[in-house]
Chains A and B, each alone.
Chain A
């Protein structure tokens, strides 16, 4: 609506709408503006001079006046059609960009952050387990054990720094990162004190180790778990926004198509001409965009669904399983370190109870060969959708059973007072429970790696389905709008 025009010319109820003429002036080239001026001079009657009216009221009056003649009506129809098609294109471009961004965030941002959080969680649990193992070996602690502990702590610290610079918005995540940052140095301090006392032959070392372990399981691991849950929730949100149907674009498409069909039907009724090529082109372009949008989004959605169902959920369960295995191993070590210094309310060894809880969570209550469905490994097996995913989990189940059998032997030896044999069965060579645990951990790492790749591939496939849709929608919408305007312009030219 251009005010200067209404201000300069006498307010005219029959003047063509400024909006219309400006919309026409771009695409109608010479003919449109010529028709506009002839119309204005032909129909202008003039109302009360000097009475000030609002631009809106002027516009409405002009539109109403224009709608009384066929060329006026045609101009309005042309403008509305062009607007609807362009709006459809714009909505498509906007909503698809939104979803593509969310899908990219899944793959490039929130999924890596969630994986990092899982790694922080795992590194901390692994550090604690490794520290207990090294402690148990006492003076014979190997360089490899020491290195593994150091690497775990370094990894956790590095990932925490990375997470704190990448985390945006989520209060929970930021709070947990701050908490972990302040607790981690305290924990490593306790471990070093435990180590120093142990090297001097003081039982106090064992008490420090138990204290450090209590800190780890009571403070650090819950915080790491919450961080993981928060990052995973964000991953879930990104999945959801990537998968959300672009309702606005779809409705705009349907409305635009409907309007085009109506316009052609009207055209046919009035002129008895079957085709208006301009409008037909606009219809085709809009239909193509709508179809592309619907199909492209469905494919992307399917890909993301696969990625989430097969990948993200499997990763979740496998990460939990790995932590369970680590905690069970840590408790197994601590049973031999604490040797009954801590008991539960019903006078059972606290750490042996912890081991059993971890194992039950990992592989279910039973001891059979199959993974119990209520264990994490059972769930992982149910979620794995191909042989490559199932194999490492099945192997892990078998190894867990072997671990349990070896653990029972070690406990029996310890209960008979044969500490040295029990120790050898827990941290000794190839037949020790430590070796079973290491294998479970490796197998679960392999399963995690596989699921990670699957998730990435499915998500990438999904994202691929949206490629070119934005550009295509914009180009086709512009073409469609041009077609609509040209098609109406062709009819208008008949009134000249």
Chain B
């Protein structure tokens, strides 16, 4: 229900979309349309049948950004703003922030079995965003969403944000909007401490290398096999099981996830250097530019204070032990 193109879309909205198409190149027209659409956007969760605005209503600028997206500027986002836009208003009205997270990535987003609560670097950031929007002790609904559901969940608006070790890239920017990078990750090799494997190189020859099906790791291993035999599993954490059971010799995955694996097994470690550049961002529906700016504002505050920033505190608490050597948060890039 409520998806664009559904039969229940009003004729008026369809007319407006056509009108908008005609006016699209005109900057002033875009502004007028944005204002009109803001009024038309139904309040999420406010009515019996919440109906998202047609795509593109708010994202004229985002479209432009996606169009000239290059790997170099992919992490660039909209300028921060503490102002409340329509999406932020909706969240406030609802009194609850809905965040898509992972629950299987140790140190990032995982459920502490002792308390049953979700914890980790991603979760801490989601809480900081919720506190900024809703005030102290905010209500947050965490939804564990699988990797493949991160973008659909935003498009279907089952979540407001996705904070889930999600890499910013141009392909994804065409579908969702991202905040500035809150972590600089990259694919890396994980292997037993005493293994002769030295990194993503020919030391992988004839080794069984495990990676998650459909992941960047699998793509990179297809491009550059280094003589390795690739073992694919449904989830990156399954690779550590294979490694421990002697069914794999090494794992290729994001260093953040690899570090999460190393944190659960002291006999494995990250090998070599990250061989891809993967900035992590908070993903938002492309229409919600006000929310993107608001999240970027939170990130500005989060990074504030150098070595004493909240970002560094979270890093020290969750990541430093297995991902040492980081002294500050990644620098934000802005596109406007």
Binding site for B on A (CB under 8 A): 138-139, 193, 197-199, 201-208, 210-211, 338-343, 347, 349-350, 415-420, 423
Contacts and interface: CB of A to CB of B under 8 A. Distances in A.
Contacts of B106: 202-204
Interface string B67-98: 00000000000000000000000000000001
A339 B237 CA distance: 13
B149 to A, nearest CB: 7
B300 to A, nearest CB: 27
B238 interface: yes
Given A341-B234, A342-B235, A197 B264 contact: yes
B215 interface: no
B145 interface: yes
What's the interface size class on B, roughly? 20 to 34
Contact of B240 (A201, A204, A418): A204
Nearest to A189: B245
A343 B146 contact: yes
Interface of B: 98, 103-106, 110-114, 116, 141-146, 148-149, 152, 158, 234-235, 237-238, 240-241, 244-245, 260-261, 264-265
A304 B66 CA distance: 76
28 contacts: A138-B113, A139-B113, A139-B114, A199-B113, A201-B113, A203-B103, A204-B261, A205-B113, A206-B237, A211-B245, A339-B103, A339-B144, A339-B146, A340-B145, A341-B146, A341-B235, A341-B237, A342-B146, A343-B148, A347-B149, A347-B152, A350-B234, A416-B143, A417-B142, A419-B111, A419-B144, A420-B116, A423-B116
A340 B142 CA distance: 13
A210 B146 contact: no
Contact of B238 (A207, A349, A416): A207
Contact of B104 (A197, A211, A339): A339
Contacts of B111: 203, 419
A486 B264 CA distance: 96
A138 B141 CA distance: 21
Contacts of A342: 146, 234-235
A207 B240 contact: yes
B299 to A, nearest CB: 23
A149 B212 CA distance: 31
A207 B243 CA distance: 12
A417 B98 contact: yes
Nearest to B98: A417
A202 B264 contact: yes
Given A203-B103, A207-B235, A340-B144, A138 B116 contact: yes
Contact of A204 (B103, B141, B234, B265): B265
Contacts of A206: 104, 237
Given A197-B264, A202-B264, A203-B264, A417 B143 contact: yes
A349 B146 contact: yes
A340 B116 CA distance: 17
Given A138-B113, A203-B103, A419-B144, 7 more contacts: A203-B237, A204-B261, A207-B104, A211-B245, A343-B148, A343-B149, A347-B146
B234 A203 contact: no
B141 A343 contact: no
B142 A419 contact: yes
Nearest to B146: A340
Question: What 9 pairs across the A-B complex have the smallest Cβ distances?
Answer: A340-B146, A417-B141, A339-B144, A138-B113, A417-B143, A341-B235, A342-B234, A207-B237, A202-B264
Most B Cβ at <10 Å: residue of A211, A418, A420 = A211
Contacts of A419: 111, 116, 142, 144
Contacts of A350: 234
